[in-house]
Amino acid sequence: MANHVDAIVIGAGFSGIYMTYKLREEGFTVKTLEKAAGVGGVWFLARYPGARCDSDSIYYNYIFSEELYKKWSWSSRFAAQDEILSYLNFVADELDVKKEMQFNTEVKFAIWDEDQTKWLVTTAQGEVFTATYLISGVGCLSTSSIPNFQGRESFKGESYHTGNWPHTPVDLKGKRVGVIGTGSSGVQSIPVIAEEAKEVYVFQRTPQYSVPTRNRQFTEEEIAQFKEAFLDAREIMLNSPSGLPIPRSTRSVVDTPEEERIAILEDAWEKGGMILNNAFYDIVIDPKSNELVSEFLRGKIREKVKKSDVVEHLLPYYYYSTKRPILDTNYHDTYNQDHVTLVNLRQQPIECITENGIQTTEKEYPLDIIVFATGYDAMTGTLLKLDIRGRNGVSLQEKWENGAKVETYLGLGLAGFPNFFTITGPQSPSVLTNVPTAIEQHVEWISDCLNYLREHNVKTIEPTVEAEIQWSKQCTEIANGTLFTKTESWYTGSNIDGKSRDFLIYLNGLDNYRQLCNEVAEHGYKGYQLQYEEIKA
């Protein structure tokens, strides 16, 4: 049949590239449909000034192939967006997967055909494909969100979202630029925007803790050493909770004597990167531990910001690390510059956007450019937009009650949605790990599963309702034992107006999760129901 393949993969980012390769190598036919004009996923789209990765570049890559790893050399400790995009193109070319991919093709609708036991996939461009398996590689942060500011359309200047930045340079020179949002995207872009713009206005709702990246160029010798140490590093990454070569910490903040605690924090601060938030095991568990680390980080902000009337507005008081930890280069120092103005939205909320700029309850800020660094409809946003319908035409929106009741099994599959898999889906470790490592684990598990189905003449696989309920309950219980659920963040869905609050990340670590997934497979896909092909006599 025309346009029929064994598997359709949605998205050509980190997930889609590896999934496509893996299945093709296993002898399955694959078609990968990607809305954008090239590979890269979020790294294709988020081209804002200062966009950079927060995982050390030498770990923010595929580790399944030693040969592939050794062919690529990162230029600096934290790679910029364009280098990551080049890397993903390099991998896609090395693995020769672009021939399985169709770009500028947006999946609009997918429905399970009960009689044919196939997925029917329709694109916005009007094409129809069928596939035995449907695999989502849409990522957790791929639907950018702009809050519904009144009057947004009336603004006469330019406006951009960090997650959907133009492909041609935006000229900031001599411009008055307003940035709304101080998450990772805002914190990375504000210092870079301030280097060019005439005036910068930062519209901040919640101040942020931040740790320096300490980014630097690598030397040839260092690159050679990383490659030499690859196999050892990979071993630790595969067995660590974060997917980084950082073993599980056994140290408690409160139980560590003050002098030693400060020394550990200072050392992590000097080293930069994600070392500090991984230095103790109880930062996001024990409020007292959290406060000690939070106060340490507030002290760093007080040291950096010289303007006494500004610094108090920049001090965060939420539990550190319960919003996604932020790394920066010169973020807080930027506020020492006279052309940078902090607007505290807790004191003067945005009333509307006008023709000329942003109107708060206190005054109008005239602007030439507005940058929306306002984040993403994370975890479920993209999946819910796709219009996926399982058995009996039941949509994902209906199953998940429009986000009010999200349940999955292992973040990998859904009851009522046969032969459907979600790479880094809700309730998997996903964004609380080094994401490429989590992606590899899912891709390999799915690929093994499809092999099993083929070898055992299994027609359909889907989680049981009971397994799904149990898994969701377990995820919620683990999350409720932490401080994560006590903070408003995109982790909990509270960044999107009207979105239900839920914590959709499995928090017991990638190491434990990997073991659980392996056990499920080893026990003949425990928690799933399998429907076998009828063998004709």
User: How far apart are the C-alpha atoms of 390 and 114, rounded to whole Å?
Assistant: 9
Asked whether position 353 contacts ligand NAP by CB under 6 A, the answer is no
Asked whether position 205 contacts ligand NAP by CB under 6 A, the answer is yes
> Can you tell me which of 272, 357, 375, 509 binds ligand NAP, judged by CB under 6 A?
375
Asked whether position 374 contacts ligand NAP by CB under 6 A, the answer is yes
Cβ(467)–Cβ(43) under 8 Å?
Answer: no
> Can you tell me which of 135, 373, 443, 475 binds ligand NAP, judged by CB under 6 A?
373
Segment 136-195, which members bind ligand NAP (CB under 6 A)? 141, 147, 162, 180-186, 188
CB of 139 to ligand NAP, least distance (A): 10
Directed axis angle between helix 230-238 and helix 220-228, to 10°? 60
CB of 350 to ligand NAP, least distance (A): 6
Of 185 and 424, which has the nearer Cβ to ligand NAP?
A: 185
Cβ(8)–Cβ(133) under 8 Å?
Answer: yes
Of 328 and 407, which has the nearer Cβ to ligand NAP?
A: 328
CB of 78 to ligand NAP, least distance (A): 8
Asked whether position 41 contacts ligand NAP by CB under 6 A, the answer is no
Asked whether position 54 contacts ligand NAP by CB under 6 A, the answer is yes
For residue 212, give the 3-state DSSP assignment: strand
CB of 275 to ligand NAP, least distance (A): 15
Residue count, binding to ligand NAP (CB under 6 A): 26
Asked whether position 119 contacts ligand NAP by CB under 6 A, the answer is no
Region near ligand NAP per CB under 6 A, out of 219-227, 288-296, 371-379, 474-482: 371-379
Cβ(465)–Cβ(421) under 8 Å?
Answer: no
User: How far apart are the C-alpha atoms of 73 and 63, rounded to whole Å?
Assistant: 13
CB of 371 to ligand NAP, least distance (A): 11
Asked whether position 329 contacts ligand NAP by CB under 6 A, the answer is no
Segment 296-325, which members bind ligand NAP (CB under 6 A)? 324
Q: Annotate 347-385 with three-state secondary structure.
A: CCCEEEECCCEEEECCCEEECCEEEECCCECCCCHHHHH
CB of 57 to ligand NAP, least distance (A): 11
Q: Which of these, 190, 159, 182, lies nearest to 367 by C-alpha position?
A: 159
Asked whether position 486 contacts ligand NAP by CB under 6 A, the answer is no
Asked whether position 490 contacts ligand NAP by CB under 6 A, the answer is yes
Cβ(210)–Cβ(352) under 8 Å?
Answer: no
CB of 186 to ligand NAP, least distance (A): 5
Asked whether position 52 contacts ligand NAP by CB under 6 A, the answer is yes
> Can you tell me which of 345, 384, 507, 520 binds ligand NAP, judged by CB under 6 A?
345
Q: What share of the chain is helix, strand, coil (3-state, %, to 5)?
A: 35, 20, 45
Of 133 and 490, which has the nearer Cβ to ligand NAP?
A: 490
Nearest residue relative to ligand NAP (C-beta) = 183
Of 39 and 350, which has the nearer Cβ to ligand NAP?
A: 350
Number of H helices, E strands in the chain: 15, 20
- Residue 259, Ramachandran bin (φ over 0: left; ψ between -120 and 50: alpha; else beta): alpha
Which amino acid makes up residue 194? Answer: A
Of 144 and 290, which has the nearer Cβ to ligand NAP?
A: 144
Segment 422-441, which members bind ligand NAP (CB under 6 A)? 431
State the Rg of the chain over Cα.
Answer: 24
Please name every residue paired with 133 in a beta bridge, in sequence order, or none if there are none: 7
| First and final C-alpha spacing in the chain | 26
> Can you tell me which of 119, 495, 520, 525 binds ligand NAP, judged by CB under 6 A?
495
Provide the 10 A C-beta neighbour count for residue 521.
14
Asked whether position 53 contacts ligand NAP by CB under 6 A, the answer is yes
Please name every residue paired with 112 in a beta bridge, in sequence order, or none if there are none: 119
Could you tell me which residues come within 8 angstroms of residue 265 by beta carbon, excluding any fewer than 6 positions away? 276, 279, 293, 296
Region near ligand NAP per CB under 6 A, out of 11-19, 368-376, 500-508, 516-524: 368-376
Residue that the structure tokens 């009336």 belong to: 154
User: How far apart are the C-alpha atoms of 11 and 29, rounded to whole Å?
Assistant: 16
Region near ligand NAP per CB under 6 A, out of 30-38, 48-56, 95-103, 305-313: 48-56
List residues binding ligand NAP (CB under 6 A).
Answer: 52-54, 141, 147, 162, 180-186, 188, 205-206, 324, 345, 350, 373-376, 431, 490, 495
